[in-house]
Amino acid sequence: MPEPTTPPQRLFSFIGGLQGRWRVTDVRSVIGESLSVTPRLDVVAGDVVELPAGASWLLRGITSNERYVTREEKTTLVATQEGLGRSGSTMAALIPIRKTAAWWAMTQDERREIFEARSRHIVIGMHFLPAIARRLHHCRDLALSEPFDFLTWFEFAPADEPSFESLLEQLRATPEWAFIDREADIRLVVDP
């Protein structure tokens, strides 16, 4: 009985290297160790067994079921948000974060309390819809250890870059961010 061993279609690989649609304009460390600066970023659906020539790093994550949003919140999100790949979304950001052991030791109600009741994570994100499109990838429960717990991918038009900065500023000021011990911030543009 050979069981399937292909990657789920929910798995994505982000490769910092010499290739890819996205040109890297900035790589910053927000908290902890940074990632090395590379000329380009490639976003690949599926797994990457080996780093391509000239690539410096590979981050993998998987989209999954929602962990915090309620039905009411999701209904609002779905009605407001737009998908990735809009023609006007020529800017993007990849924000990898890792949460502390204290975060992961909490129970669901404790995490939700910090995530939404105290930090308003979902409400903050909603303020920036549909301008800022996003896709969340989970890394913590992959079969191989990953350097981050989450990779969030954002896409937006250049005119909405100030909104994106405001979104990040608001999130980073929340009680939730006290449970983040590594965060990088990679900015990207599509070459015209």
Can you give the binding site for a second copy, defined by CB under 8 A?
Answer: 1, 3-8, 11, 35-36, 47, 56-60, 62, 64-71, 73-74, 104-112, 138, 140-147
Strands (E), 32-76: 40-45, 57-62
Ramachandran category for residue 104: left, alpha or beta (phi over 0 → left; psi -120 to 50 → alpha) = alpha
Query: What would the two tokens of residue 117 be?
Result: 């009741």
DSSP string, 139-156: -TTSSS--S-SEEEEEEE
Least distance in Å: CB of 140 to a second copy?
A: 7
Q: Are 20 and 40 in contact (CB under 8 A)?
A: yes
| Cα→Cα distances 189→39, 75, 95, Å | 11, 31, 15
Nearer to a second copy, 86 or 118 (CB): 118
**Is residue 66 a contact partner of residue 81, using CB atoms and an 8 Å limit?**
no
Q: Are 13 and 59 a contacting pair, CB within 8 Å?
A: yes
CB of 16 to a second copy, least distance (A): 9
Give 77 or 157: the residue with its C-beta nearer to a second copy. 77
Least distance in Å: CB of 77 to a second copy?
A: 10
Is the CB of 59 or the CB of 186 nearer to a second copy?
A: 59
CB of 55 to a second copy, least distance (A): 10
CB of 58 to a second copy, least distance (A): 7
Q: Which is nearer to a second copy, 43 or 157 (CB)?
A: 43
Q: Which is nearer to a second copy, 56 or 163 (CB)?
A: 56
- Distance separating alpha carbons of residues 26 and 151, to the nearest angstrom: 17
